[in-house]
A and B are shown apart, each in its own frame.
Chain A
Amino acid sequence: SAVISQKPSRDICQRGTSLTIQCQVDSQVTMMFWYRQQPGQSLTLIATANQGSEATYESGFVIDKFPISRPNLTFSTLTVSNMSPEDSSIYLCSGARGGGVALVADTQYFGPGTRLTVL
Chain B
Amino acid sequence: AQKVTQAQTEISVVEKEDVTLDCVYETRDTTYYLFWYKQPPSGELVFLIRRNSFDEQNEISGRYSWNFQKSTSSFNFTITASQVVDSAVYFCALSGRDSNYQLIWGAGTKLIIKP
Contacts and interface: CB of A to CB of B under 8 A. Distances in A.
Interface size class of A (residues with CB under 8 A): 20 to 34
A10 B115 CA distance: 30
Interface in A63-85: none
Interface string A10-54: 000000000000000000000001000000011101001000000
Interface residues of B, number: 22
Interface string A76-112: 0000000000000010101000110001110111111
Given A45-B103, A105-B101, A90 B47 contact: no
Contacts of B105: 42-43
A42 B50 contact: no
B43 to A, nearest CB: 5
Nearest to B110: A40
Interface in B66-115: 91, 95-97, 100-103, 105-108
Contact of B42 (A45, A98, A112): A112
B45 interface: yes
Nearest to B94: A105
Nearest to A90: B43
Given A110-B44, A113-B43, A105 B106 contact: no
A112 B41 CA distance: 11
Given A43-B91, A103-B97, A103-B101, A1 B44 contact: no
Given A33-B102, A99-B101, 4 more contacts: A45-B102, A103-B100, A110-B44, A115-B43
19 contacts: A1-B47, A33-B102, A41-B107, A43-B45, A43-B103, A43-B105, A98-B101, A99-B101, A103-B97, A103-B100, A105-B33, A105-B96, A107-B35, A107-B50, A109-B47, A110-B37, A112-B44, A113-B44, A113-B45
Interface of A: 1, 33, 41-43, 45, 48, 90, 92, 94, 98-99, 103-105, 107-113, 115
